[in-house]
Amino acid sequence: MKPEMLEKEHTMFRDAFSKFVEKEIMPNHEQWEQDGIVSRDVWQQAGKYGFLCMDVPETYGGMGEKDYRFSVIVTEELARAGASGVAFSLHNDMVVPYITNYGTEEQKQRWLPKLVTGELISAVAMTEPNTGSDLAGVRTTAIRKDDHYILNGQKTFISNGILNDLLIVVAKTDPEEGASGVSLLIVERGMQGYERGRNLEKIGQHAQDNAELFFRDVKVPLENLIGEEGAGFAYLMQGLPRERLAIAVGSLASAEIVLEETLRYCQERTAFGRPIGKFQNSRFKLAEMKTELEIGRVFIDHCILKYNQGELSVDKAAMAKWWITELLLRVVDDCLQLHGGYGYMLEYPVAKAFLNARAATIVGGTTEIMKEIIGRSLGF
């Protein structure tokens, strides 16, 4: 966010979290990339210092900050540090709000305090091997029987798939229905029949655990239903704009830091007796990227304020997610090219940024789905 978007408490929060990233995350991230998973300790440390679930009411241990800018700061600072494995944004922006907004009082008391402290790590299971963006077409079923549901199905590409202690599962409680048959259920670590598959190998974001999940006759208590039965699709549609905005926020911050690093490189690297930034092609490329990022920054900050006011529309969130993530891909590609052969070396941040960025146009709904959402909002 631009400095003028921040008040004193935001600046203090950013300074504190930036120091946390520098001390607790950056010295360990390379090891986490080798391990394919981050340490649980960093989650508990983040919870200890108040960097998780900032908008959870104080009654349940949170800060009670109904101000999305605090979550934005966490997402931006992790992106600027290249800490692609630390999925705090998934926890803060994409999972916990379902419990805060639709959970019962008993559910909030049971789960929110431990989600705030990082003792519980969360995830959401939407995607299936044969079902991606078509959430109304999920095949995982949760059939009611006595005082519980019998959950059967499979999910894939699930972030925090290995680490999660609390998983929101998108399932059909009425398999004969489409969207109106979808419900959200909480599956907890240790439930019999809930199994984690392999930690999937990806081209980037190596420190983030993405896994296949299997549900074989899992008994899920009725009290683990989030909100109303059959209302899950509506809850997802209300929650996805925040998810997509969070992805756009992180993507823009990633692109901005890559450009900053490339500007420094173009000032220091010489060819034919002068800095490579002095060549017209380099200047034009840098000028184009700087201009597009400035445009993106204005739009994203506008969307952040709209979300804070409860006015961010589904189609505008889709616009942000589509345009900013595609911009990220263009920027990292052009910046890598300006680095020449060094850009292909993983010891240079631009190379990792190039690999990590590729998922941005896919997760949270593909670019094509975002365009479909926008097109429908135009009446087509």
- Please report, as a single letter, which amino acid is at residue 251: S
Tokens 């299936």 belong to: 128
Helix (H, G, I), strand (E, B) or coil at 201: coil
C-alpha torsion 57→62→64→67, nearest 10: -120
As a whole number of Å, the end-to-end CA separation of the chain is 34
Half-sphere exposure of 164 (CA within 13 A, CB side): 31
Beta-strand pair 225-226/182-188: antiparallel
**321 within 8 A of 364, measured Cβ to Cβ:** yes
DSSP classification of residue 3? G
Angle at 79 between CA 78 and CA 80, to 5 degrees: 95
What's the token pair of residue 190? 């240790």
Nearest Cα residue to 127 out of 247, 248, 236: 236
Q: What is the 3-state secondary structure (H, E, C) of 68-84?
A: CHHHHHHHHHHHHCCCC
Q: Is 291 exposed, middle or buried (0-12, 13-18, 19+ CB in 10 A)?
A: exposed
Instruction: Tell me which of 65, 76, 243, 256 is the catalytic residue.
Output: 243
Integer Cα distance of 205 and 356 in angstroms: 5
3-state DSSP percent of the chain in helix, strand and coil, to 5: 55, 15, 25
Identify whether 243 is a catalytic site residue: yes
DSSP of 131-175:
BSS-GGG---EEEEETTEEEEEEEEEEEETTTT-SEEEEEEESST
Integer Cα distance of 112 and 56 in angstroms: 8
**319 within 8 A of 374, measured Cβ to Cβ:** yes
What's the token pair of residue 123? 């995830």
Just list the catalytic residues: 243
